[in-house]
Amino acid sequence: MPFTPFHMGPGLFIKAVLQSSFSLMVFGWTQIIMDIQPLIVSLTGKGHLHGFTHTYLGATLIAVFSAVTGKYLSQFALALLLARDRQAVHIRWWIAILSGFIGSYSHVFLDSLIHSDLAPYFPFSPVNHFLGIISVADLYKLCVYSGILGAVLYFGVSYLIVRRNKHIY
C-alpha cells in the first residue's frame, strides 16, 4: 500500500479485539519503520521499492527493532499525552514484541496482496503466492472498514468498562 495509514485500519481492529494485550503505538511505529526503505527508493529512484524490508525475514528483524525502540518511544509519548511521569506508563515486553511482530508480518502480507515486485519469502522463494487474491480497491476498503469497525468496537468496549466500573462502587 502506498501509505502507512492504510495499515492502521487492521491495527485498530486488532486493538479492539486484544485491548490491553496489544500496543497500537508499537504497531504504528512498526508500520513507519517498514515503509522507510520504500520511501527512500521513491525519493531517490534507486533500489528495489519493496525489497528486503518487505520479506518475512526482513519483517522479523524489523519486528525486533520496532518492539525494542517502540516500547520506549511509546511509553514516553503516552506519558506526555497523559501528562504523567514517564515511569507511570509501562508497556510490557511481551506486548511490545507481539505488537511489533503483528505489525511487521501483517504489513508484508497486506502489501504482498497487491504489489507484484514483492517477494515475501525471499531468499527462500521469489514467488509471491498472495498476489491478486484481492483487488487494490477492495484491499483499501477492507483496511478502512476494519479501522472504522475497530474504532467503534474499541470505544464501545471502553465505554462499557467505564460504565460498569462506575456501578461497582
Contact by Cβ (8 Å): 26, 62: no
The conformation of residue 81, written as its DSSP 8-state character, comes to: H
The three grid cell numbers given for residue 38, joined into one nine-digit string: 520504500
What is the band of 139 on the pLDDT scale with cuts at 50, 70, 90? very high
Q: What are phi and psi of 93, to 5 degrees?
A: -60, -45
pLDDT score of 85 more than 70: no
Predicted structure pTM score? 0.89
List pLDDT tens digits, range 31-71: 999 999 999 998 999 988 899 999 999 999 999 999 999 99
Surface-to-core class of residue 35, CB atoms within 10 Å of its CB (0-12 exposed, 13-18 middle, 19+ buried)? buried
What is the band of 21 on the pLDDT scale with cuts at 50, 70, 90? very high
